[in-house]
Amino acid sequence: MTYRAEQPNHSRTGEAERAERVGRVGRAGLTGNVGRDERAEREQAREFFAVRAADWDSRFPDDGPRYAEAVAALGLASGDFVLDAGCGTGRALPRLRAAVGPEGTVLGLDLTPEMLREALAHRAEAGLVNGDVCHLPLRDGTLDAVFGAGLISHLPDPPADLRELARVTRPGGVLALFHPIGRAALAARHGRELTPDDLRAEPNLRPQLAAAGWRLTHYTDTDDRYLALATRSS
Ligand SMILES: C[S@@+](CC[C@H](N)C(=O)[O-])C[C@H]1O[C@@H](n2cnc3c(N)ncnc32)[C@H](O)[C@@H]1O
């Protein structure tokens, strides 16, 4: 995908500010240097999702149980810090909150303010940050887990972006790359062919994850679910 320039316009909710005060969320990345091409790609993504934000949830009303299964697969514990990377309207946030309990921290981060506005209205259980997965405002090794639903195909530089997710995750932490339908079903929905170079195909994803500091531990790609789980290497 190609994305256009964006001046970061980060807004944070109270929980995100609280996380920063207690030293778990840094400001690094909030105004970090972003090249022109990269900014262009971000802006294209933002424009694409901005116009889809208002009716996003109503387009996919039956996905709830699959999100619940994917969150359960992360194996979160009470008190964990989990990032919903590209959280969109926050469909996963209540389930992530339930999994980490009141002592845990849930941060939803998304590039598109319109998506976050929906998340803010309906999903206030988490801190929300308007930011970029490629330049996370988090210190090294902060997270116990990352949940990324429908995200990976929108990453402009997957090797670097998966490394950035690894940077902010502690050794042994877990990454879930999820989509509520599988690759073939998604390609059919979009009227395109699946190509062998699809990053989400296991033979492509496994080495990309390994190079970025992740070990693929589980892979499912069926009509009704795509789920890749990986553990942060030490
Ligand atoms: C397909 S939507 C999925 C939204 C949500 N995770 C869900 O499952 O409903 C992809 C989301 O990723 C966000 N996104 C795309 N590129 C991003 C980036 N570089 N950093 C943060 N969010 C990004 C988009 O704004 C959009 O909300």
Distance from residue 230's CA to the centre of ligand 1 (Å)? 19
Domain range spanning residue 68? Answer: 14-232
pLDDT digits (tens, 9 = 90+) for 197-229: 999 999 999 999 999 999 999 999 999 999 999
pLDDT tens profile 117-134 = 999 887 768 999 999 999
Count the neighbouring beta carbons within 10 Å of the beta carbon of residue 49.
Answer: 20
Residue 116 clears pLDDT 90, i.e. is over it: yes
Task: Specify if 61 maps to a domain.
Answer: yes
Relative to the CA of 42, which ligand 1 atom is closest? 19
Q: What is the CATH number of the domain that holds 219?
A: 3.40.50.150
Mutate to test the pocket of ligand 1, among 49, 51, 106 (most ligand atoms within 8 A of CB): 49
CB 149 near ligand 1, within 6 Å? yes
Residue closest via CA to ligand 1's atom 1 equals: 150
Task: Please indicate, yes or no, if residue 6 is contained in any of the structural domains.
Answer: no
What's residue 15's pLDDT?
A: 52
Is the CB of residue 29 below 6 angstroms from any atom belonging to ligand 1? no
pLDDT band at 34 (very low <50, low <70, confident <90, very high): low
Q: Is the CB of 130 under 6 A from ligand 1?
A: no
Q: DSSP secondary structure string, 83-110?
A: EEET-TTTTTHHHHHHHHTTTSEEEEEE
User: End-to-end distance of the chain based on CA atoms, in angstroms?
Assistant: 31
Give the pLDDT mean for 21-35: 41
Question: What total number of domains does the chain contain?
Answer: 1
| Domain-embedded: residue 113 | yes
Instruction: Identify whether 82 is part of a domain.
Output: yes
pLDDT at 88 over 70: yes
The count of residues in the chain is 234
The whole-angstrom separation of Cα 228 and Cα 87 is 17
Q: Is residue 58 part of a domain?
A: yes
Q: What is the mean pLDDT of the chain?
A: 86
Q: Find out whether 5 and 35 touch, Cβ atoms under 8 Å.
A: no
**Alpha-helix residue ranges (DSSP H) falling in the chain:** 14-21, 36-50, 56-59, 64-73, 93-100, 113-122, 158-167, 183-189, 202-212
Residue 4 in any domain: the answer is no
Q: How far apart are CA 23 and CA 150, in angstroms?
A: 29
56 Cα–ligand 1 center, Å: 12
* Average pLDDT of the residues in 56-80: 94
143: pLDDT confidence band, cut at 50, 70 and 90?
Answer: very high
Do 193 and 39 meet the contact criterion of CB atoms below 8 Å apart? no
The pTM score is: 0.87
Residues 54, 59: Cα–Cα separation, whole Å: 10
